[in-house]
Amino acid sequence: MNKLLPFALALLFVGCADVPPTPGQVASIGYGTPLTVDYRAVIKDWLDKNLKDPYSAVVEYPYKPVQGWIRTAPIQGSQLIMGWKIPVRVNAKNSFGAYVGNRVYLFIFRDNRIVFEVDAESGMNSALLEPYE
């Protein structure tokens, strides 16, 4: 029984996470207004508030924003979030003063603000980066 618990938990977290929105959902929800803010400045502000050592951060924006979606894990309600997807690579120092290496963060903007963020350490599914690969 204990051997199945990690597998069951993994299924619980990723169960329906990759089910794309239907054309009806895309039409009714939409992606929000096109980005008119300096999304790099907004992301930098978010990183400044959430990294251990934000002043050490080396941030790369390898791709331009694209319309995209994400569905949260079933334990979080399988919520469909649509907006502008922006992947970012960040290399910053940890609590010990050492660089941790490039970590990918995925931000989703809707109506010019961050509505969702996930990083590779949180178990980001590679399907989230689908339009970029």
* Structural domain harbouring 18: 5-132
If you average pLDDT over residues 38-63, what whole number do you get? Answer: 95
Q: Which residue has tokens 């120092």?
A: 93
Q: What tokens appear for 91 in the block?
A: 């290399």
Number of domains in the chain: 1
pTM for this predicted structure: 0.77
Q: How far is CA 93 from CA 47, 118, 127, in A?
A: 12, 19, 27
Q: Give the lowest-confidence range in 17-21, 45-49, 68-72.
A: 17-21
73-114 pLDDT tens trace: 778 778 899 999 999 999 999 989 999 999 999 999 999 999
Question: Which pLDDT belongs to residue 13?
Answer: 45
pLDDT, the chain, mean: 82
